[in-house]
């Protein structure tokens, strides 16, 4: 039988590069599409010589022609530092990019997975967050380009499914971490690890009591693959993340201990619209995908710290 070809947009990014690697191990042909706005060739350099791997430098806000069997749409800056740097292009990537990829999926009659985000819930008024919750999002704030862009992308996916019959899979990814995160991406795990390894003050915004849930990259990749393997009757959205919840102070203390750092904790004002609590209810994913995270925070942080220690 002909090998299936999988298109991964944002394949040079943190999650995308791990997904490309896993797909190659499972004997798929992989086409990686990235404009390298936040992705890096270093993330996929070890794949460039693989006979089943192809790299296309392309921005999905422009139409793309390809012959593939499935699409993982992961393209979009995902950290506040990067998506706020060019908010107009962030919104275009979410919305116009979704239209272009959905059009390709419609033409080829293939399944397409959308990597949405926990940011669609905004600063939630319910806890933990379930998929039925419609969110509490500021539509004109500094984070809106990403939050509302991803919400609009979900709308497009479900409308293409209802109106055109496209086989869609929508997942809402909560905080994910691991090797190949960018040192300067502004996310809390990479920030704390880099500051600790350099012996710098660890910057905590607010009083440090705000919470997040952290999923290790290997667990997330497994969830994405299980979602794509579902039949056309399964659309989502599904929350994907680790429901174990930690305060920023707990995270900082753990990273200081694991790195043996002498860093001090310093406090700064909380950024605008920054969520106070974030924890996924993953009941749907557990029941339908038979998935739940296997790697605890301390184990995953040790692997992530070893990676950053090697690249800094």
Strand partners, 177: 216
Asked if 152 and 160 touch (Cβ cutoff 8 Å), the reply is no
Q: Once rounded to an integer, what is the mean pLDDT over residues 249-262? A: 98
pLDDT band at 275, cuts 50/70/90?
confident
Q: Once rounded to an integer, what is the mean pLDDT over residues 250-263? A: 98
- Nearest-CA neighbor of 55 among 25, 93, 22, 29? 29
Asked if 280 and 241 touch (Cβ cutoff 8 Å), the reply is yes
- DSSP three-state, residue 271: coil
Please state, for a pLDDT cut of 70, what percent of the chain lies above it.
100
In the numeric block, which tokens belong to residue 227? 């979602």
Rounded CA-CA distance 277/209 in Å is 9
What is the pLDDT at residue 251? 98
What is the pLDDT at residue 1? 59
Active site residues: 146
pLDDT band at 302, cuts 50/70/90?
very high
In the numeric block, which tokens belong to residue 90? 């962030």
Average pLDDT, the chain: 96
Please state, for a pLDDT cut of 90, what percent of the chain lies above it.
94
* Distance from the first to the final alpha carbon of the chain: 45
Query: Residue 255: is its pLDDT beyond 90?
Result: yes
What is the pLDDT at residue 273? 76
Rounded CA-CA distance 105/123 in Å is 33
Query: Residue 131: is its pLDDT beyond 80?
Result: yes
What is the pLDDT at residue 270? 86
Rounded CA-CA distance 196/255 in Å is 7
Asked if 12 and 32 touch (Cβ cutoff 8 Å), the reply is yes
Q: Once rounded to an integer, what is the mean pLDDT over residues 223-245? A: 98
Rounded CA-CA distance 194/176 in Å is 16
Q: Once rounded to an integer, what is the mean pLDDT over residues 126-151? A: 96
Max Cα-Cα span within the chain: 59
109: left (phi over 0), alpha (psi -120 to 50) or beta: left
pLDDT band at 80, cuts 50/70/90?
confident
Query: Residue 307: is its pLDDT beyond 70?
Result: yes
What is the pLDDT at residue 247? 97
CATH number of 5-179+217-241+280-293, picked from 3.40.640.10, 3.40.50.720, 3.20.20.390, 3.90.1150.10:
3.40.50.720
What are the residue boundaries of the structural domains of the chain, listed by start? 5-179+217-241+280-293
pLDDT digits (tens, 9 = 90+) for 143-201: 999 999 999 999 999 999 999 999 999 999 999 999 999 998 889 999 999 999 999 99
Q: Kindly give, in sequence order, each residue whose CB lies less than 8 Å from that of residue 222, ignoring residues fewer than 6 positions away.
A: 291
* Helix ranges restricted to H, the chain: 14-25, 41-44, 80-83, 87-108, 144-164, 188-197, 217-228, 248-259, 283-289, 297-311
């Amino acid at each position: 039988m002909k090998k299936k070809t999988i298109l991964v947009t944002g394949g040079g990014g943190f999650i995308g590069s791990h997904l490309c690697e896993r797909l190659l191990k499972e004997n798929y042909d992989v086409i990686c599409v990235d404009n390298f706005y936040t992705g890096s060739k270093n993330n996929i350099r070890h794949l460039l010589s693989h006979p089943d791997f192809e790299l296309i430098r392309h921005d999905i806000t422009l139409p793309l022609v390809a012959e593939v069997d499935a699409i993982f749409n992961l393209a979009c800056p995902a950290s506040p530092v990067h998506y706020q740097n060019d908010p107009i292009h962030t919104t275009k990537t979410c919305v116009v990019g979704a239209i272009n990829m959905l059009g390709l999926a419609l033409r080829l009659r293939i399944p397409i997975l959308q990597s949405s985000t926990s940011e669609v819930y905004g600063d939630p008024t319910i806890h933990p967050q379930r998929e039925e919750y419609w969110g509490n999002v500021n539509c004109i704030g500094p984070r809106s380009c990403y939050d509302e862009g991803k919400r609009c992308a979900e709308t497009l996916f479900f409308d293409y499914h209802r109106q055109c019959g496209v086989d869609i899979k929508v997942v809402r990814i909560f905080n994910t971490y691991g090797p190949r995160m960018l040192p300067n991406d502004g996310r809390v795990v990479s920030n704390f690890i880099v500051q600790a390894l350099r012996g710098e003050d660890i910057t905590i915004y607010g009083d440090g009591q705000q919470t997040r849930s952290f999923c290790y990259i290997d667990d997330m990749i497994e969830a994405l693959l299980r979602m794509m393997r579902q039949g056309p009757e399964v659309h989502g959205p599904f929350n994907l993340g680790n429901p174990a919840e930690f305060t920023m102070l707990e995270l900082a203390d753990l990273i200081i201990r694991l790195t043996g750092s002498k860093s001090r904790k310093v406090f700064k004002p909380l950024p605008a619209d920054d969520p106070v609590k974030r924890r996924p209810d993953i009941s749907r994913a557990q029941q339908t995908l038979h998935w739940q995270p296997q790697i605890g925070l301390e184990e995953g942080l040790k692997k992530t710290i070893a990676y950053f220690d090697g690249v800094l």
